[in-house]
Chains A and B, each alone.
Chain A
Amino acid sequence: MEYVYSILILVGIYIVLASSFNLIIGTAGLVSIAHPIFFALGAYTAGVLAIHLHLDPFSATAAGAAVAGAFSLMISLPSLRVSGDYLLITSIGFQLGLLQVIKNLELTGSQGGLNNIPTPVAGPERGWIFSAIALAAAAAAVLLIRRIVRGSYGRAIRAMRDDELAFVALGRNAKHIKIVIFAVGCALAGVAGAIYAFYFQYVSPEQFEILASGTMLTMVVVGGMGSTWGPVVGAVLLLALPQAITFLRLPLAYMAPLQGMIFTLLVILFLFLRPQGLVAPEPPAPLSPPAR
């Protein structure tokens, strides 16, 4: 049963991650792949605060979100000047650089990772309580993002993507929108990180490398970039896939490379054959003139 719970919890966490990543890269068109580092910032912040300051899990999670949101400025401010490929490279540098810092700080457990994060709940109930929290967080994140991308704010985001210069020349503040989108998306990744830290009680730096960026990107691309439900489908599918492969009972040595190959293949196939992903973006709420 614990196995099922741990998968449900990962599903919840990855729905939050893929949805918030999609908000940044798919909806707002800001090509940064540094999302795992904000997941890491949330996990490490919550973990460190719980270990050293014995902070309660809610405050620690809020702090994780706040720290991830604050660090997002380090990507969003450059994104005001650079975009496209340049922003992509900046984001990779940021992710790898910050990861090096984490690997070398004693506070974050250096190379070995952060151990013994205290669990807020223990006993036989632990699994389903955490599952409920993770899935509730996923639902809340999806609804929050849906609220952002539909209606007036979403209209502004789409216009900014269509033609940023025309957008600002009409008096719209593109800078502000980019900073806010990055902060919201990264803070959500921070929340996912905190839940991860409290459930698994252990965080190691390797899990936030470029490979993690690839996993999140695959979820978004396969699920459907720019669509609200796409990343949800992508996250569920790509978490289920490795579990399904385990039933093939292949030797362990084949498993990890096989998974990497399948993920890569999926991205390539989708980009060529179905670039909109499994779930195409739903049309925006129609803007109709007021009836009177």
Chain B
Amino acid sequence: MSAALRLSGVCKRFGGIVVADEIELELERGQILGLIGPNGAGKTSLFNIVSGVVAADAGDIRIGGESVAGRTVHERARMGIVRTWQNMRLFHSMTVLENMVLAPREYAGESLVRLWFRPATVARADADACERALAILGRMGLAHLAGHGVVDLPYGQQKLIGLARALMNDGPCLLLDEPMAGVEGQAYETMKAVVREEAAAGRAVCVVEHNISFIKDLCTSAVFMSAGRILERGAIAELLASKTLAELYFGA
């Protein structure tokens, strides 16, 4: 079976700034890969390139063996790649449940024609999505928040809702952009447990995170990026022991 996500020779530069330089990366189902490196290393840019927000200059990206060349952001999401955002980007005028119902790969209510001629199909799809959303919230212990407006929630819970919304997409690839930034206590533990469960269920997860203990707890392997290049890759323990990385990362 082909890798859930494979990047080969991916390059991107903005003027003189190189954010991706010949990136080679492979993500298997069930794997949790940590993506670490100093600010400006190109970690989030890599997510943007993969999800199609930013077009790569060169290289090949495949989701489950299928090339994403020429595919737009929404088409890639439908191919099964879903991401979270550092600052969540929740739909602020909506409730938790509404945020989530919009996020499955297929959203029946998106077509006016179907809404008109097959209202029952749309209603059923909405009901199914609600049910799935409540199941995901239930796993996080947040089912009671379904009807709350997202802006009323504390930051840590908003982060969790960002993850919960992404999980509505049942695709093979999950990209998490700094899921732990600003998250502590119960939310921290929940986040960790849910990400682990998702990987165990066969999802390929890639995490950008500055919280090294989270990476250590969760990831089996990691890659270290700096200035748009992957400098090292391997088991998390070895990587963290590397002296050159410590210098680059902490400026020590």
Contacts and interface: CB of A to CB of B under 8 A. Distances in A.
Interface of A: 147-148, 151-153, 155-156, 158-159, 161-163, 165-177, 180, 184, 286-290
B136 to A, nearest CB: 12
A162 B73 contact: no
A173 B146 contact: no
Contacts of B91: 158-159, 162-163, 166-167
A169 B115 contact: no
Contacts of A162: 91-94
B26 to A, nearest CB: 22
Interface in B27-83: 51, 53, 72-75, 77-78, 82-83
Nearest to B95: A287
A152 B109 contact: yes
A162 B89 CA distance: 9
B142 interface: no
Contacts of B127: 290
| Closest 3 A/B residue pairs (Cβ) | A152-B109, A171-B77, A166-B89
B93 A158 contact: yes
A159 B150 CA distance: 13
B201 to A, nearest CB: 20
Contacts of A177: 110
Contacts of B97: 287, 289
Contacts of A290: 127, 130-131
A139 B118 CA distance: 23
A169 B101 contact: no
A41 B85 CA distance: 44
B158 interface: no
Given A173-B110, A176-B110, A289-B146, A152 B74 contact: no
A176 B111 CA distance: 9
Interface in B131-147: 131, 133-134, 146-147
A155 B126 CA distance: 11
B209 interface: no
A156 B110 CA distance: 7
A152 B115 contact: yes
A84 B146 CA distance: 33
A276 B15 CA distance: 44
Given A155-B109, A159-B91, A171 B130 contact: no
Q: Which of B74, B93, B127, B133 has the most CB of A within 10 A?
A: B74
B108 interface: yes
A159 B94 contact: yes
B17 interface: no
A184 B94 CA distance: 25
B89 A171 contact: no
A165 B105 CA distance: 16
A268 B74 CA distance: 39
B89 A165 contact: yes
A153 to B, nearest CB: 5
A168 B131 CA distance: 23
Contacts of B126: 152, 287
A43 B126 CA distance: 40
Contacts of A148: 112
A173 B74 contact: yes
B110 A165 contact: no
Contacts of A152: 107-110, 115, 122, 126
Contacts of B5: none
A81 to B, nearest CB: 13
Contacts of B73: 165, 168-169
Interface string B86-128: 0001111111011101111111111010011000001000110
A155 B51 CA distance: 23
